[in-house]
Structures are given as C-alpha cells and as structure tokens.
Amino acid sequence: MSPIAPETGGADRNEPLEKMANGVSSMLNDALTVFNGYSELILNKAQLDSVLRDQFEHIHQSAQRLTDLSTQLAALGGRQVLSKRTLDLNQVIRDVAGQLQLILGHGSAIELVLGRDVPPVRADALLLEQAMIHVANFAKIRIGAATKLRLATSRARVPRIDGECACLSITIRGWLVRSVDSKKLFQPFSNISHAIETGLRLPAVAGIIRQHHGCIEVDMEADCGTALLIYLPACTASVNSAAENAPGTNQNAATGTILLVEDDDTLRTLCAHILRQNGYRVVQATSADEAREAWKWYGDRVELLLTDMALPGDATGLDLGRDFKNQKPSLAVVIASGTPFADDGFNLVLPEGFGFIKKPYLPSDLIKTIELRISRKNEVND
C-alpha cells in the first residue's frame, strides 16, 4: 500500500504550479464561456444553413474539449467552489455509474460492490462524480478496449484522518504500477501519465479529494490491477431528503431585473444578451464600485445579482452578494467563476441562499441556474 499525502500544505503540493493552473483555467473559462455561448445561440437558430451548422458544431465540440481541460486545471489548482451536502456515497456512485459505462465504451465493464454500513460524508456530489469520471477517462486511455473498473465502498479508518471514514476503492483491472512509480501518479505529466489526454486526470482527482480534506492511497496488488483508495471524513448528520436536494424549476415566465457584474466586456455583452432574450431586464456594471452605484438606483427592483467572483479592486463578487443581501434579504445571488478565491485560502463554501455557476457555461445552463435560484427565493418568501 502506497500513501499519497493529501493535506493542505503537504509535501505533495506544488503551490507555484497550482497558482499557474488557477490562472490559466480562469483565462480559459472566460474565453470558453463566450465560445460556447455564441455557438449554442447560433446552433439554436432553426434557419441555419446546414454547412454552417456543421462548422459551428465542430467549433462547439472543440470548445467542449477545452472545457474538460479547464476542469482538470481547476481541480489541480484545488480552488473549486464546494457546494457541500450530507451525501450517501453509494447513491453518488449509482448516479454516475451509467456515465462511467458510456465513457468506457462497448466491451468494458463496471462492477459495483457497495457496502451496507458506509457512513455519510459532507461533500460536493458533482465534484465527487467528476473525480470518478477522471479515473474512468484515465483508465480508458491507459487500458483501451475492454477496460474493467471495480468500485467498492466500505467503512474505514486511516491514521491521517481523525475519526471514521467512508472509503471508495476504484480498481483498474490490468493496470500494474511499480512501487517506484506510485509516488508520481498524482504529479502532472509525470512519466507514468505522460500523455496529454491523461497527464492531468489523476492530479485533478487528488485536488478534488484534498479539497474535501480526504486522502488517497494506492494498492498495487489489488485483483491483478491497481486500486485507488479514496478516504473521505465521515459526518454525523443524516443524509438530506431528496426533496431538499433535488433541483427545482421555475414554472413562471422570466421577469424581473438582474444586476449583472462582469469586468470582461465580451462576456458581459453575451450574458446581457442571453438574459434579455429570456425576458429579464438587465442592469450592467463592470466593477464592485459601479455595482454599488447601480444598487443605489435600482436596488429596490433588482431580483437577482449575477456577479463574477473576481472583480477589479478589493471587493469580490461574494462581498457584493453579502452586502446587498444584508440590505435586501430577499435578493437571489448567483456567483460565477472557474477558479474562485477562497475564504480560508483553500476552499470556498457559499453562504446559505447563494447559487453558483461554473465557467465556462452554456446559455441554457445560465438560465436554468437563474430560474432555480429565483424559484427557491420565491418559495422561501411565500
């Protein structure tokens, strides 16, 4: 068994590399949001010429591949926003199993061995799913056809985590790693994972688990393959109800005023166009100072604040959201970012009532996020 140090500030962390990953991811996210946004808007036009449609679909597909790279960079940098809930780890695995099978393709197999006494964890379900997706993509590229994955869960204890843990073991059958190589598994573009398609997959997994204050060990004798043993701290709270966790939808027609705060001119123009196209009135600002000035004039009618996390000056989008929500508790807030700053220098956990959308996003994702946040605000106020 070969341990991989997970702790923040541990020897495995490469802070200059993480900062670079965050910076590159942030720039990619803004550009890709514009690429993806305008591509989707154009592709939704029914009268689009078939040749042009084919060309724009190629552009859209290429942007989606870059989006995947940006996601890996953000995870490597360890600065993704966490939307933590009390989760049943077994249910998270069931929810993503079909997607993993599609990634592995025909002739491959996934075996689930889910324990009955696995403790609940406090985690971000989408990021845990993303970690498993990274492993599946890595396995497909390394093994090729007929890839076999075994996902097992159990209750466990490890010395580096206080108290009980939930353990997720992901075994890649047929993938053998020498002991001397195991320490390089989670280093970007190491000798063991040199290809561009795989070079950030496992480091991204390590970044996600580190954000959850978990750890990873490598078992190199597991069923004629290699197993990644992921340990997450258990929590004592019960799993939230399905009704509480399920995404809602806003059945009402889009109305109301949105304060849009974004310093990138191209992205702000795109967002304003999408919002107006869907029936919202938009007030635009390029900085926190402009947003505060706009709030003086329009605050009484603004229903939702949509703001980038990183803004010119000392204030962040989170600061704006807190300030405005203190003045108007009914305000809905959505924070947009790819590599956000963190309250504690590592993780960002959004306050109650705040929504989040990760850059890059599609126009349809933006509208769904806004409708969900407004509908939840209305439910609370009714």
129: CATH: 3.30.565.10
Residue 239 inside a domain? The answer is: no
Q: Tell me: the pLDDT tens digits for 63-100?
A: 666 665 556 555 555 555 566 789 999 999 998 888 78
Ranges 251-265, 289-303, 354-368: which has the least confidence: 251-265
Are residues 260 and 220 part of one domain? Answer: no
Are residues 166 and 226 part of one domain? Answer: yes
Contact 19, 78 (CB under 8 A): no
Are residues 86 and 69 part of one domain? Answer: no
Q: Which of 45, 80, 115 is at the close of a domain?
A: 80
- Stronger pLDDT, 107 or 201, i.e. the higher one: 107
Q: What residue ranges in the chain does DSSP mark as E strands?
A: 2-4, 81-82, 85-87, 109-113, 121-123, 148-156, 165-173, 215-222, 225-233, 257-261, 281-285, 302-308, 332-337, 348-349, 354-358
Q: What percent of the chain has pLDDT over 70?
A: 70
- Mean per-residue pLDDT, 355-363: 86
Residue 238 inside a domain? The answer is: no
Are residues 251 and 374 part of one domain? Answer: yes
Distance (Å, rounded) from C-alpha 364 to C-alpha 274? 9
Are residues 157 and 288 part of one domain? Answer: no
Mean pLDDT of the chain: 77
* pLDDT at residue 243 tops 50: no
Band of residue 9 on the pLDDT scale cut at 50, 70, 90: very low
pLDDT at 59: 73
Which residue range forms the structural domain that includes residue 76? Answer: 2-80
Ranges 145-154, 213-222, 317-326, 337-346: which has the least confidence: 337-346
- Stronger pLDDT, 348 or 85, i.e. the higher one: 85
Going by C-alpha positions, the residue among 237, 274, 235 that lies closest to residue 361 is: 274
Are residues 315 and 212 part of one domain? Answer: no
Residue 51 inside a domain? The answer is: yes
Residue 130 inside a domain? The answer is: yes
Residue 37 inside a domain? The answer is: yes
pLDDT at 267: 84
Are residues 74 and 38 part of one domain? Answer: yes
Structure tokens at 102: 């599609």
pLDDT at 367: 92
Answering whether pTM is above 0.85, one says no
Q: Which of 63, 80, 97 is at the close of a domain?
A: 80
pLDDT at 64: 62
Split into its structural domains, the chain has a count of: 3
Q: Tell me: the pLDDT tens digits for 114-167?
A: 999 999 999 888 788 888 988 988 888 888 777 899 999 999 999 889 899 999
Which residues have a Cβ under 8 Å from the Cβ of 246 and sit 6 or more positions away? none
Distance (Å, rounded) from C-alpha 344 to C-alpha 370? 27
In terms of DSSP bridges, do strands 225-233 and 2-4 run parallel, antiparallel, or are they unpaired? unpaired
CATH number of the domain residue 370 falls in: 3.40.50.2300
Are residues 180 and 97 part of one domain? Answer: yes
- Mean per-residue pLDDT, 24-49: 70
Are residues 358 and 301 part of one domain? Answer: yes
Q: Tell me: the pLDDT tens digits for 256-280?
A: 899 999 988 878 888 888 898 888 9
- Mean per-residue pLDDT, 189-217: 71
Are residues 229 and 91 part of one domain? Answer: yes
Are residues 229 and 93 part of one domain? Answer: yes
* pLDDT at residue 21 tops 70: no
Are residues 255 and 217 part of one domain? Answer: no
pLDDT at 276: 84
Q: Which of 179, 210, 233 is at the close of a domain?
A: 233
pLDDT at 231: 96
* pLDDT at residue 1 tops 60: no
pLDDT at 269: 82
- Mean per-residue pLDDT, 29-33: 71
Residue 241 inside a domain? The answer is: no
